[in-house]
Structures are given as C-alpha cells and as structure tokens.
Structure 1
Amino acid sequence: MSSDPGVAARRTLERARESIQKIHQAAIRHRDPNLHQLADEISEIALTLGHDAGPVQEWRPCPVCGAEPGSHCLHQPSHDMVDGMHPERARL
C-alpha cells in the first residue's frame, strides 16, 4: 500500500469517471436520455467540487448535428469541429 494519499484519491476519481461512463453506456443501451442527463448532473457536481469527470462528450448526443451517443459528429455547414466533434457537444 502506498503512503501517498494522492494515489488513493486518483484511484477514487478514476472509479467515478468509469462509473459515469457506465451510466452513459447504459443510457445508449436502453435508449434512455434521462440516464445521460443524470450522468451530466453528476459531472457538473464533480466540477463544482473541483474534480474533472473526464472526457464524456462521446457519450452525449450532439446538439448541433444530432449524432447519437457513441457515434461521430456529422459535418454541418458553418459549424466548426474540433477533433471530429462539435465543441457544443463537450460543454456541460
């Protein structure tokens, strides 16, 4: 066991990120947008507490092009994309 308290905190944060991703995966599997909303709320709460919930934008539907969670964004005229996704998709 490590004497560094940061190790345990990092493990706990990683578990939280994995749990949020599992909620998003369940939302995709069950086609339940409410689960996406709950995972987003958890992510927002984590951010207010100073913790980054991790990159979960790929699990959200895109508000610009309507891409389903788990799929890539589609190019839309007059909308910029960053790393293959619309920036609006990544905002909480």
Structure 2
Amino acid sequence: MPDVIPTHCTVWHLIIRPREIHFLRFILEAYEGVATLTTLEPKLGLIRLNIARGCEGEVEMILKGEEGRLQYRFMQTARVGSHPRGASS
C-alpha cells in the first residue's frame, strides 16, 4: 500500500531533536484530530506533520510552547490533496 497523505491538509516538514520525536507524537495524540506525525528520518529528526485544515494555528502554538525542548526548524510547507508520496499535483 503506498504512503498516502490525507486529503485537504497542510503538511509541514520539520527537523527536531531526534530524542523528542516520541514526546511530540504523544502531545499531538492528546489533541485528537489536529495532526499526525510521521517520522521520515529518525536519526536526523526529520518528521512530517499532517495538519487538519484550520488547525495550523493550534499546532504552531504547541510547537512554540515546546520550542526549547524540541529545537525545531521548518524544512517546507505545503497544502496538498491525496497523492502518493512523490506524485506531482
């Protein structure tokens, strides 16, 4: 089954401290329906956040609240439809 990104969401790619990936995942799970986290490169700390439409501000608030612990930086941002990874829009 191909890796499919959910329909109509905002996708943020970030690099965070690798040992904090689990911490951010648990926090996002507590905010049910807001975002999902996929680990792309665990040693690098590269993650993908699939954020439900309209919840970008809430995720930004979560990230800013944990900025010191996560030490994150954005890689790219996109609003996408349901396309397998690597497919063109």
Q: Output the TM-score relative to the length of structure 1.
A: 0.32
- Name which structure has the greater RCO, CA cutoff 8 Å, separation 6+: 2
Q: Output the TM-score relative to the length of structure 2.
A: 0.33
Structure 1 or 2, whichever has the larger Rg, is: 1
